Amino acid sequence: GAGVSQTPSNKVTEKGKYVELRCDPISGHTALYWYRQSLGQGPEFLIYFQGTGAADDSGLPNDRFFAVRPEGSVSTLKIQRTERGDSAVYLCASSPQRGNNEQFFGPGTRLTVL
């Protein structure tokens, strides 16, 4: 079956621009996570959705970052006024439910801020 998909696979933008990154989770998965992975590092938690609501957004680094999941399926990570330090691979993962279930990861979106 279809796995988690993320679009675009690569995004190059200029400092100060706004970007949106999309995640399509596995159908029926209620839990959705966003992570950021910098070179040589492990994934860093950003935000977790259970259904439509952001159950935990404590990992968002500042108020330039925002994510939505209006219908409990597709999610969009939004970054305003991008900075060069935002350059990373942004990973999305979904899970049948939270807690002890493994997460299924998408291939990621590589964001480069020039």
Least distance between another protein and beta carbon 4 (Å): 7
Q: How far is the CB of 36 from another protein (least distance, A)?
A: 11
Q: Which two tokens stand for residue 106?
A: 């998408």
- Which residues is 13 bridged to in the sheet? 113
- Cα separation, 91 vs 95, in Å, equals 14
Q: Are strands 31-37 and 10-13 parallel, antiparallel or unpaired?
A: unpaired
- By CB under 8 A, residue 105 contacts another protein: yes
Contact of 88 with 37, CB cutoff 8 Å: yes
Whichever of 20 and 44 has its CB closer to another protein, that residue is: 44
Q: Which positions from 35 to 74 touch another protein by CB under 8 A, shown as an x/- string?
A: x----xxxxxx--x------xx-xx---------------
Q: In one letter, which amino acid is 17?
A: K
- Does residue 32 bind another protein (CB under 8 A)? no
Provide the β-strand partners of residue 22: 7, 76
Residue ranges in contact with another protein by CB under 8 A: 3-4, 33, 35, 40-45, 48, 55-56, 58-59, 91, 93, 98-100, 102-108
